[in-house]
Chains A and B, each alone.
Chain A
Amino acid sequence: MGDLMTKPSATPGPVGAGPAVGTPPRRRRRRVDPTARGVLPFALPAVLATAVLVLVPIGYTIWLSVSDRQADGTNSGFLGLANYAEMFDSPQFWSSLKITLFLFVVCLLLETVLGLALGYVMSLDVPGQRIFQGMMLIPAITASVAVGLVWLLIMDPTLGAANQILGAVGIDPVVWLGDPDVAPWAIALVDIWQWTPFMALIISAGIRSLPEEPFEAAALDGASGWRLAWNVGLPLLRPVLTVAMLLRTVDLVRFFDTIYIMTQGGPVNSTNTLNVYGYNAGFVDNQPSYAATLQIALLALVIMIAGLFTWFRQRAAR
């Protein structure tokens, strides 16, 4: 997953982390420090590459979404918002949106709660802490294809480890990936397995950097254990928690890899998230313009949710 980009300290952060994008006061421009003189051209290759690789595809996809490209590669030109109208009329779009939001909410919630628990355990300074941390890191950086394959074996209806373990304690076998009612939960389970440790790692680093004074002060007032964690620790941890949740949010809304590997959106479209729907529209159903429309809608959704998050965060910071 190129999933793990986080915010370097002094640069304007991801997802509008601050008002930093605005133009600096003009006065400052005069006093560019001498070591910064003449460096600007070095950024040119990266700027060009980014423009070509990011802005051009987004622009082209927007164009596709308002025109009518056929499977054979011909494009009969500008179409207005017809593709968008088709999308909003399609029951599959709304059901995909629902699945996308379902996975987003369930996974984010459970990953945060479990991440807090695991993060706390990881932050404790005991012998063997580094080895433990290393083992916990592995799910998050293992390729999704490998993760998907392993979980396919675990969730195999007859041979799978999951059903054999359930059987040993007398629970009937579950059809994990073949039952439309169960499959979304099974997919959520895999994502929670893969990404809880990532949450936990960020949270544990956050816990370790917490100041001690507030805890000492509260302990003097007689607070202890859970109340200390809930009333003092959690509020102090909130900025770190928000960044971790934001990073997961962006990935969860565009959920693709493990779903495509494990179910390709099935059974009966029960795991057909917007991103999987969009991929299938383009590469299986050969409707490039409609697929482009879905991708633009998805990008808008990611930006909207991330924006909402940032808004809450800034309001909370005030």
Chain B
Amino acid sequence: MTRRLSGVYAAYLVFTIVFFGPVLFMLWSSLRDNVDITGSLFDLGSPLTLDNFTNLFERFAFGRHIANSFIVAGGSTILGLALGAPAAYVIVRRKLAALGFVTLLARMAPGVLFVLPLFVLSIRIGGPDSVALNYALLIVAHLIITLPLCIWLLVPFFEEIPISIEESTLIDGANAWQRFHKIALPLALPGLSVALTLSFVFSWNYFLFALALANERTMPLTVIAFNFIGQGSNDFGGLMAASALISAPALLLTIFAQRWLVRGITGGAVK
């Protein structure tokens, strides 16, 4: 038995080095001076510093880009939940298939397919020059990610609500809307938290729409970090600090809400 256990931990060690090593390497490098990184990549003795992070905020106004990421991810998540929760409820109660099929198309279509029409629209309504319009466009574009995600995540939670609970309210004469928002919605609260966190992180992570649609002032973290590479930046410390900031929501999610995450990822793939 102990031999088996040590075998498992040996496997743990190998997989951890391979799959978690690069993440650890990123976090560690973000705390090192660039001169130390380029001098000796693996020198564990080199001093740690927060300079890379302060640099990002002072020289590249990262505060603004973080705020942009929050606005876009937050906006599209709230919108996704507001539209997705009632829709998921209807799908469960009426056993609707068609809506599921269309969201499936959203899942399969390449992102560029959406970006092209959105870009044409953006030009036509003056999106590139207006900050407010640009935010709105980005939020709506990210709804393509968050709405199907919210619906698919919420459906199993509404399915779990016993129908008898709602039937009992029929006697009290509650109408459909009251049944939904007074009975079903509170019971699906865990599901709402799952959908909220996951769609926030996925929207935060999403790269392509902002790459094509954002302007200088609405650019989220993902795009400004990508632009660093374009500028031929060899400031690895800075790049790793930017990566660490972008990864922050995902890392926090794994630490504090692992169970939701697993549920969100495996969803209905495994019954």
Contact = CB atoms under 8 A, between A and B. Distances in A.
Nearest to A288: B116
A295 B112 CA distance: 7
A7 B110 contact: no
A205 B25 contact: no
Interface string A1-19: 1111111111111110000
Contacts of B104: 14-15
Interface stretch (A87-95, A216-224, A299-307): A299-307
Contact of A139 (B19, B170, B261): B19
A139 B254 CA distance: 11
Interface residues of B, number: 119
A121 B11 contact: yes
Contacts of B96: 43
A58 interface: yes
Interface string B57-101: 000000000000000000000000011101101111111111111
A46 B107 contact: no
Interface string B257-271: 010011011111111
A145 B222 contact: yes
Contacts of A292: 113, 116
B211 to A, nearest CB: 8
A129 to B, nearest CB: 9
A39 B261 contact: no
B192 interface: no
Interface residues of A, number: 111
A311 interface: no
Contacts of A270: none
Nearest to B174: A35
A2 B206 contact: yes
Given A121-B12, A142-B250, A143-B247, A60 B117 contact: yes
Contact of A137 (B22, B147, B155, B258): B258
B197 to A, nearest CB: 11
A206 B9 CA distance: 21
B156 A9 contact: yes
The interface centre, meaning the residue of B22, B102, B123, B269 with most chain A CB atoms within 10 A of its CB, is B269
Nearest to B179: A35
Interface in B111-158: 111-120, 123, 140, 143-149, 151-152, 155-156
Contacts of B97: 11-12, 20-21
A283 B42 CA distance: 39
Nearest to A262: B229
A282 B202 contact: no
Contact of A209 (B83, B101, B271): B271
Interface of B: 5, 8-9, 11-12, 15-16, 18-20, 22-23, 25-26, 29, 37-38, 41-42, 82-84, 86-87, 89-120, 123, 140, 143-149, 151-152, 155-156, 159, 163, 166-167, 170, 175-177, 179-180, 198, 201-208, 211-212, 221-222, 225-226, 229, 236, 239-240, 242-244, 246-247, 250-251, 253-255, 258, 261-262, 264-271
27 contacts: A1-B206, A4-B264, A6-B269, A8-B156, A9-B159, A12-B100, A33-B163, A35-B170, A39-B179, A46-B83, A46-B99, A53-B144, A54-B109, A54-B144, A57-B116, A58-B105, A58-B109, A60-B120, A140-B265, A143-B207, A201-B262, A202-B266, A206-B270, A254-B111, A282-B119, A292-B116, A303-B108
Pick the 6 closest A-B CB pairs, nearest first.
Answer: A6-B267, A46-B87, A38-B176, A42-B86, A143-B205, A2-B145
Interface of A: 1-15, 20-21, 24, 32-40, 42-43, 45-47, 49-51, 53-58, 60-61, 64, 73, 118, 121, 124, 126, 128, 130, 132-146, 148-154, 159-161, 164, 193, 196-198, 201-202, 205-206, 209, 240, 243-244, 247, 250, 254, 256-257, 260-261, 275, 278-279, 282-283, 288, 291-292, 295-296, 298-299, 302-303, 306
